[in-house]
Amino acid sequence: MGSQKTSKTDRVGTLDQDITRIRQQLETLKKFLIDEPTPAALIEFDSATEDILADALGSSSPLLDTYDYAQLGEAAGLMNAPEEAPEGTTHQSQRETIRQRQRVLESGIADLEARRASLSQESKKLKAAGPTVSDYMAKSVRSVPLDATLQEAGQCLQKWKIGSVLIQSGDEFLGYITETELTREVVASGTDPVTTTVKTCMREPLVTVETSDPIVEAVRLMKEKGTRHLAVTESNRIVGVVSVSDIIRYYSGVV
């Protein structure tokens, strides 16, 4: 009994130390917002921060991937996915990438504080803090039929002001097509948009994420599957879509 109590106390102490280290990195970021760091200083800071996050949260934590994206600004790591180029984004200043780093570190602290509270039994019902996919997804499901032409799909994208649209056959969603793929087919490949249907160049199968999943899980899936759009499901039913632009909105602190 005594050894278990000591072990638990030790784990709480380790979490305290990890939280303190990440808070110290946050303080450094605040200074960077006042006095712009040199590129060398920022590289050194990022390397140290990645080591701290890996040590505190585990080397497989999705927050490590998210921190990589934050360093580039506008989740640029995701935008380099082979599927398509950035859509509707603008160049972000170094101050913006620093703010995105802050958001990631704050998420890491929230995770560690939840673990600490659970271990110390201060709040048995406390769960890891952080936004879920449902908080930032687009709740409208936009789709075109399987026999729609590329021209019709393009017109829908323009009308709805979105970067991708689901492809539907009856009650089933088979895949999706993006604005960039339309451009590639029509402009680069010389495909006739009036006679060619979306089924010839749609991406399939759909990559899905649950409404209850954390935002970092969406980030992980996008990187793993090489896509910038995920269908969102609830009780095995598609209820929305989450894209890179939605994730940018969170990590840029915009609700």
**Which one has a higher pLDDT value, 39 or 4?**
39
pLDDT for residue 245: 82
pLDDT tens digit sequence for 179-220 = 888 887 777 778 888 999 998 888 888 999 999 888 888 988
Residue 1 DSSP SS3:
coil
- Classify residue 81 by its DSSP letter: S
Q: Which of 57-71, 74-88, 153-167, 223-237 has the lowest mean pLDDT?
A: 74-88
Binned at pLDDT 50, 70 and 90, residue 9 comes out as: low
- Taking the alpha carbons at both ends of the chain, their separation in whole angstroms is 47
Q: Is the pTM of this model over 0.75?
A: no
Which strand (E) or helix (H) includes residue 63?
A: helix 62-72
pLDDT tens digit sequence for 25-44 = 999 999 998 888 998 999 99
pLDDT for residue 166: 95
Is the pLDDT score of 144 beyond 70? Answer: yes
Bridge partners, residue 175, by sequence? 167
pLDDT for residue 92: 47
Binned at pLDDT 50, 70 and 90, residue 247 comes out as: confident
Q: Which amino acid is at 252?
A: S
Beta-carbon contacts of residue 248 (< 8 Å; ≥ 6 apart)? 74, 75, 89
Domains and CATH numbers, the chain: 2-120 (no CATH), 133-251 (3.10.580.10)
**Which one has a higher pLDDT value, 89 or 146?**
146
**Which one has a higher pLDDT value, 89 or 93?**
93
pLDDT for residue 8: 57
pLDDT for residue 21: 95
pLDDT for residue 128: 45
Alpha-carbon span 214 to 60, nearest angstrom:
15
Is the pLDDT score of 75 beyond 50? Answer: no
pLDDT tens digit sequence for 46-61 = 999 999 999 999 988 8
pLDDT for residue 1: 42
Residue whose entry in the numeric block shows the structure tokens 């890891």: 128
pLDDT for residue 159: 92
Which range is most confident: 6-10, 73-77, 110-114, 145-149? 145-149
CB-count exposure of residue 27 (10 Å: 0-12, 13-18, 19+):
exposed
pLDDT for residue 145: 95
Is the pLDDT score of 102 beyond 50? Answer: yes
